[in-house]
């Protein structure tokens, strides 16, 4: 049988419908030494899609730093992992699910959560936290409100039900995201380092057990049709390509897989996500240098008459592929029965590197696993710096006159959707389940979420950051700032930044301007990661985020994890007592370019993003870490979107105590000092009596420090400029999103 | 003597492990109860935890009430022994008829996760009386937590001192703006007639560890521990 050629007729131009170019089709023919049959062609189309193969991004991603003593698992696995010490590992990854969410926001976002959770699970880790960086069009448009509301409900609906807390993320709005919302999801998991499941996990003779939901026609073509093309006018017709989530099945699947891992029954565990069974089998066998016999008749189906290609590329959710030694199959099946999930032996690993796929007794495909998983073409796509960029960047916003009182500008920025409280979002997420959330949305605004390692005093701080305006005006700086800001957010709570995962959201890579922005963003990210000692352990590229002439801002998003040795020493960001000296760490330059103030008050998305001195940034992180260790700070808060004015107001609102501020005279107009988004800054309040130590440490560490005010009262006062009562500020800050969404607001 | 507190695990229960941890934190002995077993594992008190049992795709708690473990819980409750239903557990108790009323979709039509305040009412369960008027800070996290019941049932709960907790302002005032789900009479938790079954939407198991936030849940769990200890002792004496 194995020597026979698979059945099937020659395929003419079907490959184009499946998303392969003529040249790629010829390459497939070359790999096989013959023309592929339709089943084989569908497998190649899925695995060689941009989404699965990274064919346009690979040469750029190779430049990122991926190594460090803390890295246990780098890129190339389902998720990366870093060492937390004491035998514990932190597994984490971020992914996008933007295209499905644009078409069906609830299910698109829900299944995005499901997919990233299974990636972390497949490393043998318990998923312990989720974070969701999101981008939408402005909320004055009804479609944008529908997408925003649907995505948030979908994330909550799925995440709450599977019992993994959603503890952070960010939401930003820009017109370019109207037709192309960006939905990124990060998952973090914990595992015993010696129990991590690495791929390759199998050996010849190991079997593959398909666990979980049955396989249906949902999600066919998800990676090739949906994720690897731009969305056209008739995008709603792709709705059948969006998968439907069943969080209950995922919930049970998580517990089941963790039990299989605890009982040491697994050689490997592979998630069935994009490209379904084809991806799971080909990746795991290719990594092991093996092949497999695959029996499609063993796959439980939702409906009769499914074609082999449908079974092979279905993206039905809540399925995992367990790689198991034959002697353990009976025990695996018993545990699956206990949890009420199906377990079917669908494949057996074999030497030789070929995948033999059988259906109804016939050989329907014979393909080298490596050709599918590792030998997709790699493109060096043409790049061109956009001609319009310089004109926009030269806009000198610092000289632009301020037409409204500075107090009004402050309230406008504080209540702008890019700055205002996202409580409307976070309250729809269960941020407490699992009982380890030390800092999360329920404890108020925080720079980073903090999750305790159960039964220890260690904790992991997590932040996701990205700035689309920066990406639009300087993608290199956007990449670098995303790393710097996420590291700063983690450092602000007292953690040492460890490593990053990245999600790169861009337009069509076949356009040279998009590709240029992509390569710049990756270059910036790489430089920042090297300078801050935080390697990249994996991530995801999302291209084709455009429709018509409108592409999303180049949006590199970073998910950072940091380690806190003793969570009882973490630093919160609210002013909770009066009489504390408030300091600004870092230097403020006249930088309004690409900022919140420029867009909200001046109506401009132009100018240059703030410069980034990576060494100064690193010094700030070291200082913040040391301050936490010595318990010098009553509060610390990152100073970024909306500048110093917003950072001070947020600390006051978070702790419920006002502040009186005298701006240091650095020769800038007041509004520049208030709203400049200069990097590498933080607002801190010293513990009483520890001011001298803080000042000395800052001087020693080479971090500029200025005493800017004192806490107390119930007003935010900028001396000589204006003052706002805390309660008025809260109304503006908390009320912005509920007002736009027309929702009832709870008190308290 | 440490009371043994059993925590039921249905498929889809999420807060079962958190309840086990909270019980340990409170100094009692936690044990697991598997939904498919009729065996309560020697428990002196039982928690039906939060989560989404069986996905809650039908009505919340509507399928869990048929689990074999629930038959045992019913007998246990009918013996007058203490049962605490939290969130999904409260919903299951209502579906099982061990508590009156029902929990329906939040008034705001959205899931809500936040720290809120509840006020202990003038009511008592077996062996414990919460101090009336005391305000506890405790989180809620649910999409279907709006307690509803016919007027005569609400009247009976009120008259019989069976309303355990109401949502309130931080100072204890009743104010519908602090009611997170639109519950009738701001009701957050109720007793059965005998005072041995308590159901509430807020999550006491998520409010015991001061390192994680407010500790308003300790008192609620303390009722369960006290009742379990008394009844365990009583049954030990009877056995002798």
Confidence class of residue B203 from pLDDT cuts 50, 70 and 90?
very high
Q: How confident is the model at residue A2 (pLDDT cuts 50, 70, 90)?
A: very low
What DSSP letter does each residue of A710-745 carry, written as one string? EE-SSEEEETTTEEEEHHHHHHHHHHHHHHHHT---
CA dihedral A278, A280, A284, A290 (to 10 degrees): -30
Radius of gyration of chain B (CA): 16
Query: Which of A592, A558, A603 has the alpha carbon at shortest distance from A467?
Result: A558
Q: What counts of helices (H) and strands (E) characterise chain A?
A: 25, 28
Residue A6 has a pLDDT of: 55
- Alpha carbon distances (Å) from A37 to A3, A280, A307: 16, 21, 13
Whether the predicted pLDDT of A559 surpasses 80: yes
Give catalytic status of residue A359 as yes or no.
no
A163 and B111: CB-CB below 8 Å?
A: no
Q: Angle at which helices A38-47 and A22-32 pack, to 10 degrees?
A: 110
Q: Which region, left, alpha or beta, applies to residue A190 given φ > 0 means left and ψ of -120 to 50 means alpha?
A: beta
Residue A339 to residue B11, Cβ atoms within 8 A: yes
The answer to whether residues A183 and A134 touch, using CB atoms and an 8 Å cutoff, is yes
**Mean pLDDT confidence for B43-68:** 95
Could you say which of A426, A429, A433 has the minimum Cβ distance to residue B14? A433
Give the span between the Cα atoms of A472 and A605, in whole angstroms.
9
Residue A691 CA to residue A686 CA, distance in Å, equals 6
Interface of A with B (CB under 8 A): 153, 156-157, 160-163, 246-249, 251-252, 339-340, 426-438, 441-443, 452, 454, 567-568, 743-744, 746-748
What is the domain extent for residue B75?
A: 4-239
Q: Do A434 and B18 touch (CB under 8 A)?
A: yes
Tokens of A78: 């389902």
Choosing from B35, B87, B94, B121, which is the catalytic residue?
A: B87
Complex prediction ipTM? 0.96
Residue A499 has pLDDT above 50, yes or no: yes
Pairing between β-strand A459-465 and β-strand A555-564 as defined by DSSP bridges: antiparallel
A97 is catalytic: yes
Q: Which CATH number is B120's domain given?
A: 3.40.50.880
Q: Would you state the pLDDT for residue A264?
A: 95
Region A167-196: mean pLDDT is 96
- List CB contacts (< 8 A) between A435 and chain B: 15, 17-18, 21-22, 205-206, 209, 212
Token readout for A621 is 């992180």
CA A123 to chain CA centroid, Å, is: 18
| Lowest model confidence (mean pLDDT) among A221-225, A292-296, A329-333, B90-94 | A221-225
> Does residue A748 register a pLDDT over 90?
no
CB A326 within 8 A of CB A207: yes
Please state, as a whole number, how many other Cβ atoms lie within 10 Å of the Cβ of residue A334.
10
Q: Does residue A4 register a pLDDT over 70? A: no
Given this model, what pLDDT does residue A201 score?
Answer: 74
**Does B157 sit behind a cis peptide bond, omega within 30 degrees of 0 on the bond before it?**
no
Among B9, B10, B11, the residue to mutate for chain A (most A Cβ within 10 A)? B11
pLDDT tens per residue across span A363-408: 999 999 999 999 999 999 999 999 999 999 999 999 998 999 999 9
Helix, strand, coil proportions of chain B in percent (round to 5)? Answer: 30, 25, 40
Tokens representing B206?
């998520």
Cβ atoms of A100 and A155 within 8 Å: the answer is: no
Contact flag A435-B212 (C-beta cutoff 8 Å): yes
Question: Which residue of chain B comes nearest to A745, CA vs CA?
Answer: B177
Cβ <8 Å between A442 and B143:
no
Closest residue in A to B116 (Cα) is A748
Question: What span, in angstroms and rounded, lies between the C-alpha atoms of A536 and A525?
Answer: 9
Q: Do A747 and B177 touch (CB under 8 A)?
A: yes
Mean pLDDT computed over A27-37: 96
- Burial classification of residue A173, based on how many CB atoms lie within 10 Å of its CB (0-12 exposed, 13-18 middle, 19 or more buried): buried
Confidence at A234, pLDDT banded by 50, 70, 90: low
Which residues from chain B sit within 8 angstroms of residue A567, using beta carbons? 211
Q: What's the rounded Cα separation, in Å, for the pair A112 and A183?
A: 8
Tell me which of A15, A60, A97, A621 is the catalytic residue.
A97
Q: Report chain A's mean pLDDT, rounded to a whole number.
A: 94
| pLDDT at res. A10 | 47
| Residue with token string 């993994």 | A164
User: What's the CA gap between B96 and B92, in Å, rounded?
Assistant: 6
Residues A597/A409, Cβ–Cβ less than 8 Å:
yes
CA A655/CA A637 separation, integer angstroms: 12
Domains of chain A plus CATH, in order, are 16-48+198-245+253-377 (3.90.650.10), 392-501+558-740 (3.90.650.10)
Q: What is the model's pLDDT at position A549?
A: 75
Q: Residues A147-151: what's their mean pLDDT?
A: 98
Identify whether the C-beta of residue A444 lies closer than 8 Å to the C-beta of residue A431. no
- Say if CB A366 and CB A3 are below 8 A apart: no
Give chain A positions within 8 Å (CB) of B143.
160
Residues found in chain A: 748
Q: Percent of chain A scored above 90 by pLDDT?
A: 89
Q: How many domains does chain B have?
A: 1
Q: Give the relative orientation of helices A406-414 and A643-655 as an angle to the nearest 10 degrees.
A: 60
Contact A248 B175 (CB under 8 A): no
pLDDT tens readout for residues A646-668: 999 999 999 999 999 999 888 88
- The size of the A-B interface in CB pairs under 8 A is 117
Give me the percent of chain A exceeding a pLDDT of 70: 95
Residue A711 has pLDDT above 50, yes or no: yes
Q: Which residue has the tokens 């695995």?
A: A47
CA distance A553 to A135: 10
Residue A239 has pLDDT above 80, yes or no: no
> What is the per-residue pLDDT for B237?
63
Gyration radius (Cα) of chain A, Å: 26
Percent of chain B with pLDDT over 90: 90
Which residue, among A36, A31, A71, A197, has the nearest Cα to A124 in the 3D structure? A197
Beta bridge partners of A451: A437, A460
């Amino acid at each position: 049988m194995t020597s026979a050629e698979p059945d099937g007729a020659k395929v003419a131009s079907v490959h184009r419908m499946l998303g392969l170019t003529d040249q790629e089709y010829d390459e497939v023919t070359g790999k096989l030494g013959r023309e592929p049959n339709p089943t084989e062609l569908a497998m190649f189309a899925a695995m060689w899609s941009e989404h699965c193969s990274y064919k346009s991004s690979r040469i750029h991603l190779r430049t990122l730093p991926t190594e460090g003593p803390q890295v246990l698992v780098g890129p190339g696995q389902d998720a990366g992992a870093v060492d937390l010490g004491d035998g514990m590992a932190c597994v984490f990854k971020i992914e996008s699910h933007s295209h499905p969410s644009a078409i069906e926001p609830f299910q698109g976002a829900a299944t995005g959560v499901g997919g990233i959770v299974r990636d972390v699970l497949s490393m043998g880790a318990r998923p312990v936290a989720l974070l969701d960086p999101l981008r939408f069009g402005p909320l004055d448009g009804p479609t944008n409100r529908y997408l925003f509301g649907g995505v948030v409900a979908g994330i909550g609906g799925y995440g709450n039900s599977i019992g993994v807390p959603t503890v952070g993320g960010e939401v930003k709005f820009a017109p370019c995201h109207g037709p192309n919302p960006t939905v990124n999801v990060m998952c973090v998991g914990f595992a015993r380092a010696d129990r991590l499941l690495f791929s390759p996990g199998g050996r010849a003779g190991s079997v593959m057990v398909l666990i979980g939901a049955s396989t249906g026609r949902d999600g066919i073509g998800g990676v090739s049709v949906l994720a690897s093309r731009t969305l056209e006018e008739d995008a709603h017709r792709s709705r059948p390509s969006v998968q439907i989530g069943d969080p209950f099945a995922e919930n049970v699947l998580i517990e089941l897989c963790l039990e299989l891992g605890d009982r040491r029954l697994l050689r490997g565990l592979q998630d069935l996500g994009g490209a379904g069974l084809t991806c799971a089998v080909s990746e795991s066998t290719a990594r092991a240098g093996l092949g497999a016999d695959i029996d499609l008749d063993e796959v439980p189906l939702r409906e009769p008459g499914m074609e082999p290609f449908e079974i092979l590329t279905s993206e039905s959710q809540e399925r995992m592929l367990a790689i198991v030694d034959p002697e353990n199959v009976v025990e695996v099946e018993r545990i699956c029965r206990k949890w009420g999930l199906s377990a079917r032996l669908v494949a057996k690993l074999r030497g030789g590197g070929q995948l033999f796929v059988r259906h109804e007794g016939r050989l329907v495909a014979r393909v080298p696993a490596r050709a599918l998983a590792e030998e997709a073409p790699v493109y060096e796509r043409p790049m061109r710096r956009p001609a319009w960029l310089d004109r926009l960047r030269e806009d000198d916003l610092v000289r632009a006159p301020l037409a409204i009182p500075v107090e009004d500008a402050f309230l406008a920025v504080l209540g702008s959707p890019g700055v205002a409280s996202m409580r409307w979002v976070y309250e729809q997420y269960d941020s407490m389940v699992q009982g380890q959330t030390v800092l999360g949305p329920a404890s108020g605004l925080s720079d980073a979420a903090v999750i305790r390692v159960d039964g220890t005093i260690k904790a992991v701080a997590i932040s996701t950051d990205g700035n689309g305006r920066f990406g639009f005006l300087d993608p290199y700086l956007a990449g670098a700032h995303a790393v710097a800001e996420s590291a700063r957010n983690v450092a602000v709570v007292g953690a040492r930044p460890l490593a990053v995962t990245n999600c790169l959201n861009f337009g069509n890579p076949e356009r040279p301007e998009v590709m240029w922005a992509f390569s710049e963003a990756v270059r910036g990210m790489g430089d920042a990661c090297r300078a801050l000692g935080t390697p990249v352990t994996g991530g995801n590229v999302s291209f084709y985020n455009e429709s018509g002439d409108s592409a999303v801002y180049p949006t590199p998003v970073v998910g950072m994890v940091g380690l806190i040795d003793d969570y009882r020493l973490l630093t919160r960001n609210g002013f909770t007592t009066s009489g504390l000296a408030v300091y600004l760490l870092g230097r403020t330059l006249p930088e309004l370019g690409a900022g919140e103030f420029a867009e909200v008050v001046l109506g401009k998305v132009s100018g240059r993003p703030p410069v980034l001195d990576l060494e100064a940034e690193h010094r700030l992180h070291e200082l913040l870490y040391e301050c936490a260790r010595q318990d010098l700070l009553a509060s610390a808060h990152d100073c970024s979107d909306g500048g110093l004015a917003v950072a001070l107001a947020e600390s006051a609102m978070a702790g419920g105590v006002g502040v009186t501020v005298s701006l240091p005279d650095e020769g800038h107009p007041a509004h520049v000092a208030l709203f400049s988004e200069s990097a590498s800054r933080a607002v801190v309040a010293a513990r009483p009596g520890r001011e001298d130590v803080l000042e000395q440490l800052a001087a020693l560490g080479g971090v500029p420090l200025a005493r800017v005010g004192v806490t107390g009262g119930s007003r935010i006062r900028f001396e000589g400029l204006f003052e706002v009562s805390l309660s008025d500020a809260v109304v503006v800050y908390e009320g912005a999103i509920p007002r736009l969404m027309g929702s009832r607001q709870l008190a308290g | 003597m440490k009371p043994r507190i059993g925590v039921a695990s249905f498929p889809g229960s999420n807060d079962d492990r958190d309840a086990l941890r909270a019980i340990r934190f409170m100094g009692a002995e936690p044990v697991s109860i598997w939904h498919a077993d009729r065996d309560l594992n020697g428990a002196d008190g039982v928690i039906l935890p939060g989560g989404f049992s069986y996905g809650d795709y039908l009505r919340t708690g509507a399928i869990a009430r048929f689990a074999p473990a629930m038959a045992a819980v019913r007998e246990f409750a009918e013996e007058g022994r203490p049962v605490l239903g939290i969130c999904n557990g409260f919903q299951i108790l209502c579906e099982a008829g061990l508590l009156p009323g029902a929990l329906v979709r939040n008034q705001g039509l959205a899931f809500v996760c936040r720290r809120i305040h509840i006020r202990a009412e003038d009511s008592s369960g077996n062996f414990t009386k919460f101090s009336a008027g005391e305000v506890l800070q405790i989180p809620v996290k649910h999409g279907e937590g709006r307690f509803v019941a016919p007027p005569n049932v609400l009247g009976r709960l009120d008259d019989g001192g069976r309303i355990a907790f109401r949502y309130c302002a931080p100072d204890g005032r009743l104010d519908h703006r602090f009611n997170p789900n639109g519950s009738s009479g701001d009701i957050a938790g109720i007793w059965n007639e005998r005072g041995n079954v308590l159901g509430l939407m807020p999550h006491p198991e998520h409010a015991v560890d001061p390192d994680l936030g407010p500790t308003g849940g300790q008192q609620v769990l303390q009722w369960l521990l006290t009742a379990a200890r008394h009844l365990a002792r009583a049954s030990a004496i009877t056995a002798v």
